[in-house]
Amino acid sequence: MPSPIRGRCLCGAVRVTLEPPTLFASHCHCESCRRAHAAAFVTWTGVPRERFALVQGEDRVTRYPSSPGAFRCFCSVCGSVMFTYYTPEHADFSDAAGTVYVPVAVLEGPLDRAPDSHVSMEEAAPWFAFHDDLPRYHAKTDERME
């Protein structure tokens, strides 16, 4: 069995673990992710809920409802976004309700896969130039963008 993938916030108050294998790794360009992370895009990975653990700092986690049924969870001490999840009735794409999404940047050590795509490209920051050959998708769908 592979070793757990550990993650922590900037100040170390909140710690998580993911049990591999992860389900994906992709760069998200949606406006919500860009604003929540103050970045051109966010690289996410995810695991089924039963393979995610909040191992320290539950009392330090603030859950922000960024859209109906979507909760961005961050450290109330340092502000690091630690994970996101969706309630079942509001999951707007396949398997979203059963997945916990974790920004790759909060993980310690290597991820079990490299990022393989860009999603929500229709919302990409116009000032960022891309220099890779990864596929680009509309929203969080299989609809490829040119």
Quick one: average pLDDT of 43-66?
96
SS (H, E, C) the chain: CCCCEEEECCCCCCEEEECCCCCCEEEECCHHHHHHHCCCCEEEEEEEHHHEEEEECHHHEEEEEEECCEEEEEECCCCCEEEEEECHHHCCCCCHHHEEEEEHHHEECCCCCCCCCEECHHHCCCCCCCCCCCCEECCCCCCECC
What tens digit of pLDDT does each residue of 72-120 get?
Answer: 999 999 999 999 998 876 555 545 668 999 999 999 989 999 999 999 9
Share of the chain above pLDDT 70, in %: 93
Q: Sketch out the chain's domains with CATH numbers.
A: 5-23+41-113 (2.170.150.70)
* Residue 43 clears pLDDT 70, i.e. is over it: yes
What tens digit of pLDDT does each residue of 18-34 get?
Answer: 999 999 999 999 999 99
* Residue 13 clears pLDDT 90, i.e. is over it: yes
